[in-house]
Amino acid sequence: MNRSPKLAVQDLHALKSRHAAVFAPSWATRSATIATVAVLAGLFVFGFWRLDFSFTKLVSGIGQLGVLIWLMIPPDPGSWARFVTFLGALAETVAIAFLGTLLAALIAFPIGFVAARNTTVNRIVRFASRRVLDGIRGIDTLIWALLWINVVGLGPFAGVLAIMTADIGTFGKLFSEAIEAADRKPVEGIVSTGGARLHQIRFGVLPQVLPVIAGQVLYFFESNTRSSTIIGIVGAGGIGLHLAEQIRTLEWQAVSFLVIMILITVAVIDAVSVRLRSAIIGRPQRAAA
C-alpha cells in the first residue's frame, strides 16, 4: 500500500486522531492472541522433538517417496487373474459397507428414540444410552474389526460386524439429534386427537425424521466404503488385504492400480448417493410447495 500513497493514507494522521479508540491496540486481545499462538507453536515444536522428527530423516524419506512414486507408474495389476481377484475383493468391500451401514441403521433406529430427549422412556435410560453410544464411538472401526475377528474368525463377515458396531454409536447420536430437532406441532396435533405415545411417534415424529435419517445413512454408506477399504489390513475382508499385501511385497505398480480402483469406486458411490439423497430430501419439499 505504501507503493502509491493516496488520499486515505495522507489523511491517516487526522483519521487516527479522530478515531483514536479504533486505532488503539487492545492489549488484552493482543496478548491473548500471542499467548494462544505461543502455546500452539510450543506444543508443535515439542511434538517434533518428542516424535523424533529430524531434517535428514524427512529429506531422505521424501527422496525415497519420490522413488516409490516413480516405481508406481504405470499402474498395472500384474496379470488378468490378479485383476479379477482385485475386482472380487472390491465387490466384497462395497458389500461390507452396504451391509454394515444397513444393519447399523436398523439397530440404531430404536436406540435413537431412546436417546432423544422428547421420545425417551425416562432420564436414566436416556443418560445410560448416551454414555454407551459415546463409548462405542470412542473405539475405532479397526479395533472393532480385531475384536470381531476373535468371534467370527477372519473374513469379510467380521468386517460387516465391525462397520456395524462402529456406526451404531455414530448413528445413535445423529438420529437422536434429528429426533430432538423435530417440530413439536405435529406431535401436539396427534395428542389432540387422542393418540397414544406410540401414535405420537409414528405419525408425529417419524414422518419428519425419516428423510433426515435416510440422508445420513446414505452419506455414511459412502464414507463406510472408504473405511471398509482398510479393514482388510487386519484381516477382516475386502480390498485392504490385497492393498497391504502389495505394499509389503513392494509391488508398487499393483499398489497404484488398487488405489485407482478405490478412487473410482468411491467416486461412483459418491455420485449415486448424492443423487439419491437429493431425491429423498427433495421430495417432501416439492410436496410442500
Partner 1 sequence: MATSFSRLPDDRLAPYARAYDDANRKKRVQAILFLGIVAGLTLLSGAVAEVDLFKLFGNLGNFFSYFDRILTFDSGPMVGRRVWTDPSEWLWGLGKWLSLLGDTILIAYLGTMLGAIGAFLLCFSASTNLMPNAWLRGLVKRVFEFCRTVPEIVFALIFIIAFGLGPVPGVLAIAIHTMGALGKLFAEVVENIDMKPVEGCTATGAGFSDTIRFAVVPQVLSNFASYTLLRFEINVRGASVMGFVGAGGIGQDLIEAIRKFYYADVSALLLLIILTVVLIDLGTERLRHALISREERP
Catalog residues that contact partner 1 under the rule CB under 8 A.
1, 3-4, 6, 8, 40, 43-44, 46-48, 50-53, 57-58, 61-62, 64-65, 68, 91-92, 94-96, 98-99, 102, 134-135, 137-140, 142-143, 146-148, 150-153, 155-157, 159-161, 226-227, 229-230, 233-234, 237, 243-244, 247-248, 250, 255, 259, 262-263, 266-267
Q: Under a CB-based contact definition with an 8 Å cutoff, are residues 90 and 261 in contact?
A: yes
> Smallest gap, in angstroms, from Cβ of residue 47 to partner 1?
4
CA distance 211 to 157: 29
Question: Which three-class secondary structure state does DSSP give residue 215?
Answer: helix
**Could you tell me where the beta strands, DSSP code E, fall in 23-88?**
none
Going by C-alpha positions, the residue among 229, 226, 237, 231 that lies closest to residue 269 is 226
> Smallest gap, in angstroms, from Cβ of residue 93 to partner 1?
9
Measured from the CB atom, the residue of 46 and 197 that comes closer to partner 1 is 46
CA distance 93 to 101: 12
Measured from the CB atom, the residue of 90 and 116 that comes closer to partner 1 is 90
In degrees rounded to 5, what are phi and psi of residue 4?
A: -130, 85
CA distances to 31, 118, 217, 222, 274 from 210, rounded to whole Å, are 49, 16, 10, 19, 17
> Smallest gap, in angstroms, from Cβ of residue 158 to partner 1?
10
Measured from the CB atom, the residue of 51 and 81 that comes closer to partner 1 is 51
> Smallest gap, in angstroms, from Cβ of residue 153 to partner 1?
8
Measured from the CB atom, the residue of 212 and 243 that comes closer to partner 1 is 243
Angle, alpha carbons 220-221-224 (nearest 5°): 80
Measured from the CB atom, the residue of 23 and 48 that comes closer to partner 1 is 48
Measured from the CB atom, the residue of 110 and 153 that comes closer to partner 1 is 153
> Smallest gap, in angstroms, from Cβ of residue 135 to partner 1?
5
Measured from the CB atom, the residue of 121 and 181 that comes closer to partner 1 is 181
Q: Under a CB-based contact definition with an 8 Å cutoff, are residues 106 and 92 in contact?
A: no
> Smallest gap, in angstroms, from Cβ of residue 82 to partner 1?
18
Going by C-alpha positions, the residue among 182, 91, 104, 183 that lies closest to residue 137 is 104
Measured from the CB atom, the residue of 116 and 130 that comes closer to partner 1 is 130
> Smallest gap, in angstroms, from Cβ of residue 114 to partner 1?
20
CA distance 80 to 179: 50
Q: Under a CB-based contact definition with an 8 Å cutoff, are residues 77 and 83 in contact?
A: yes
CA distance 124 to 286: 40
> Smallest gap, in angstroms, from Cβ of residue 23 to partner 1?
15
